[in-house]
Amino acid sequence: MNIPRLHINVDHVATLRQARRGEFPCPIEWALAAEKAGAHGITCHLRKDRRHIQDADVIRLRGELQSTLNLELSLDTEMVALALKSGADAFCLVPEMRQEVTTEGGLDCKKEQARLRDVIPALTEEGGLVSLFVDPEPDQLDVARELGAPFVELHTGCYANRTGAAREQELERLMRASAHAQDIGLRVNAGHGLDYDNVSPVALMGGIEELNIGFAIVARAMFVGVAQAVEEMLELLPSQGEIDGRATSLRAAKN
pLDDT in tens, 189-245: 999 999 999 999 999 998 999 999 999 999 999 999 999 999 999 999 987 666 666
Report the C-alpha gap between 93 and 102 in whole angstroms: 14
Q: Which helix (H) or strand (E) holds 93?
A: strand 90-93
45 labelled catalytic: yes
State how far Cα 219 lies from the chain centre: 17
Radius of gyration of the chain (CA): 17
7, 45, 52, 155: the active-site residue? 45
pLDDT bracket for residue 253 (50, 70, 90)? very low
Is the pLDDT reported for residue 101 higher than 70? no
192 labelled catalytic: yes
12, 35, 192, 210: the active-site residue? 192
Closest among 193, 176, 192 to 140, alpha carbons compared: 176
Residue 16: strand pairing partners: none
Q: Is 178 exposed, middle or buried (0-12, 13-18, 19+ CB in 10 A)?
A: buried
Contacts (Cβ under 8 Å, ≥6 apart) of 77:
none
Cα angle value 210/177/128 (rounded, 5°): 40
Contacts (Cβ under 8 Å, ≥6 apart) of 47:
53, 74, 79, 96
155 labelled catalytic: no
Do the Cβ atoms of 45 and 103 come closer than 8 Å?
yes
Task: Give rounded-to-5 percent helix, strand, coil for the chain.
Answer: 50, 15, 35
97 versus 26: the higher-pLDDT residue is: 26
Across residues 129-136, what is the average pLDDT?
A: 97
Domains of the chain: 5-254 (3.20.20.70)
35, 72, 170, 210: the active-site residue? 72
* DSSP string across 142-197: HHHHHTT-SEEEEE-HHHHH--HHHHHHHHHHHHHHHHHHHHTT-EEEEESS--TT
| Phi, psi for 196 (deg, rounded to 5) | -70, -20
pTM for this predicted structure? 0.92
Is the pLDDT reported for residue 252 higher than 70? no
Q: For residue range 159-186, list pLDDT tens digits in order.
A: 999 999 999 999 999 999 999 999 999 9
What is the CB neighbour count within 10 angstroms for residue 47? 21
| Phi, psi for 193 (deg, rounded to 5) | 80, 5
